């Protein structure tokens, strides 16, 4: 221990360094990471509000008689909902989701709900990860979310393949919020890697909109899939 004028110098320096780190963390926001990015165009942002309403619709038990519809409603046709899976049907392996045939926009939308604070299975997915635990396509991904994404893909790829076959001009869009955003980000990567199982070869038919996503992949993967994955974060 170093002491000068009865003052523990090393301890003071250490405390000041910790205080500076804590202060910077308190003031740091995600806006610092993107403050030099270009603005999205109107065309690029256009799908976002529509997809957000679709994600919210996953929370409803009966879309013909919604309980929590936002002002103006969900803006969807309940009869175009092709498939819905709840917590019991996913067995806790993934959050609830639905497949919606958006005939107005020539789009097949796979929408996934966000984190349910009352569901232990959601926390189990989120906490199933260690730094550097799981490799994917030359990078690293979140272990629990990848397992959830692979389970969802294996469960639904035949359904998606038939829908894509019946609607050859439609895009396939994955959309999710929070936990669901992390899941769809990895799900679209799994789908791109397994295009043959879906019966399509064009990478540009895939889109993903991750609303407030969990951090789930290494930077090199985020860059490599930037043409497919759109991360939307409110700042």
Architecture of domain 41-232: 3-Layer(aba) Sandwich (3.40)
Model confidence at 1: pLDDT above 60: no
Query: What are the structure tokens assigned to 35, written together?
Result: 């403050």
Model confidence at 42: pLDDT above 60: yes
Band (22; pLDDT cuts 50, 70, 90): confident
pLDDT digits (tens, 9 = 90+) for 154-190: 999 999 999 999 999 999 999 999 999 999 999 999 9
CA angle (151 as vertex; 147, 157 as ends), nearest 5:
135
Q: Residue 2: what pLDDT?
A: 47
Band (133; pLDDT cuts 50, 70, 90): confident
Model confidence at 81: pLDDT above 90: yes
Q: What percent of the chain has pLDDT over 90?
A: 71
Q: Residue 19: what pLDDT?
A: 78
Model confidence at 196: pLDDT above 90: yes
What is the rounded CA–CA span in Å between residue 188 and residue 150?
A: 10
Q: Residue 3: what pLDDT?
A: 47
How would you label 45-75 residue by residue, b for 16+ Cβ within 10 Å and e otherwise? eebeebbbbbbbbbebeebeebeeeeeeebe
Model confidence at 7: pLDDT above 60: no
CA distances from 33 to 28, 37, 142 (A): 10, 9, 21
What is the rounded CA–CA span in Å between residue 95 and residue 115?
A: 7
Mean pLDDT of the region 141-162? 97
What residue spans define the domains of the chain?
41-232
């Amino acid at each position: 221990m170093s002491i000068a004028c009865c003052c523990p110098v090393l301890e003071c320096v250490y405390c000041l360094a910790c205080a500076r780190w804590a202060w910077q963390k308190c003031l740091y926001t995600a806006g610092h990471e993107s403050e030099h990015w270009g603005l999205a165009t109107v065309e690029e942002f256009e799908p976002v509000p529509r997809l957000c309403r679709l994600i919210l619709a996953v929370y409803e038990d009966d879309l013909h008689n919604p309980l929590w519809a936002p002002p103006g409603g969900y803006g969807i046709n309940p009869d175009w909902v092709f498939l819905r899976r709840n917590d019991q049907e996913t067995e806790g392996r993934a959050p609830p989701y639905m497949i919606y045939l958006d005939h107005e926009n020539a789009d097949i939308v796979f929408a996934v709900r966000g984190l349910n604070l009352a569901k232990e299975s959601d926390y189990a997915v989120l906490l199933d990860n260690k730094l550097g635990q799981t490799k994917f396509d030359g990078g690293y991904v979140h272990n629990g979310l990848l397992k959830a994404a692979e389970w969802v893909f294996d469960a639904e790829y035949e359904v998606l393949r038939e829908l894509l076959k019946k609607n050859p001009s439609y895009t396939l869009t994955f959309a999710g919020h929070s936990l669901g955003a992390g899941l769809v980000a990895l799900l679209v990567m799994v789908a791109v890697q397994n295009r043959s199982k879906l019966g399509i070869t064009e990478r540009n038919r895939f889109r993903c909109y991750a609303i407030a996503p969990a951090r789930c992949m290494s930077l090199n993967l985020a860059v490599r899939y930037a043409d497919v994955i759109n991360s939307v974060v409110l700042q």
